[in-house]
């Protein structure tokens, strides 16, 4: 029940925003978020003292370009993450480029 509601909300969101991102894309984004570095980005980012990515994205202070730059280069306590992202099984299975994998992760964070 919970799952079907979430799927419905996802569809409604895509329809409302008029964007081409599918639930498959946000699914892959979730897998990256949950599995990168073995325990996921949330190991650090679900802790209140670290940057709250969904809030920053929704507030417009973390745009797609900055997001990508931090994943590529790291920042302070934030490790470089692009290699980890590209190793993700779902990313490999879908044959995504770096750009598309980052897109999926960014889109997932918008829905989180
Ligand atoms: C080892 C802990 C850790 C892990 C794992 C981690 N992060 Fe971070 N991340 C941080 C810390 C700490 C910062 C703040 C760095 C700073 O501003 O100096 C940060 C900052 C960021 C920023 C920049 C936010 C901003 O507005 O400046 C982004 C984007 C980000 N992380 C994305 C991710 C993603 C996506 C993942 C998973 C692929 C991830 N992080 C995994 C600790 C982590």
pLDDT per residue over 23-58, tens digit each?
Answer: 999 999 999 999 999 999 999 999 999 999 999 999
In this model, does residue 17 exceed pLDDT 90? no
* pLDDT score of 53: 98
Q: Which residue has the tokens 């979730």?
A: 30
- Across the range 65-76, mean pLDDT stands at 98
Task: Please name the residue whose Cα sits nearest to atom 33 of ligand 1.
Answer: 41
Measuring from each residue's beta carbon to the nearest atom of ligand 1, which residues come in under 6 Å?
A: 36-37, 41, 43-45, 50-51, 53, 56, 62, 67, 70-71, 75-79, 81, 84-85, 105
* pLDDT score of 21: 73
Q: What is the mean pLDDT of the chain?
A: 90
- CATH code reported for the domain at 24-111: 1.10.760
* pLDDT score of 62: 98
In this model, does residue 18 exceed pLDDT 80? no
In this model, does residue 75 exceed pLDDT 80? yes
Helices (H), the chain: 2-17, 23-35, 42-45, 53-59, 64-73, 82-87, 89-94, 98-111
Q: Which residue has the tokens 């570095």?
A: 37
Length of the chain: 112
The pTM of this model reads 0.86
């Amino acid at each position: 029940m919970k799952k079907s509601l979430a799927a419905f909300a996802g569809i409604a969101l895509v329809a409302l925003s008029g964007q081409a991102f599918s639930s498959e894309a946000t699914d892959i984004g979730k897998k990256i978020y949950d599995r990168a570095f073995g325990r996921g980005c949330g190991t650090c980012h679900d802790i209140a003292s670290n940057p709250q990515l969904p809030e920053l994205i929704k507030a417009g202070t973390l745009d797609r370009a900055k997001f990508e730059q931090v994943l590529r280069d790291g920042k302070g306590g934030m490790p470089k993450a692009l290699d980890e992202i590209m190793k993700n099984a779902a990313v490999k299975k879908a044959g995504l480029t770096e750009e598309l994998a980052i897109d999926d992760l960014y889109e997932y964070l918008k829905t989180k």
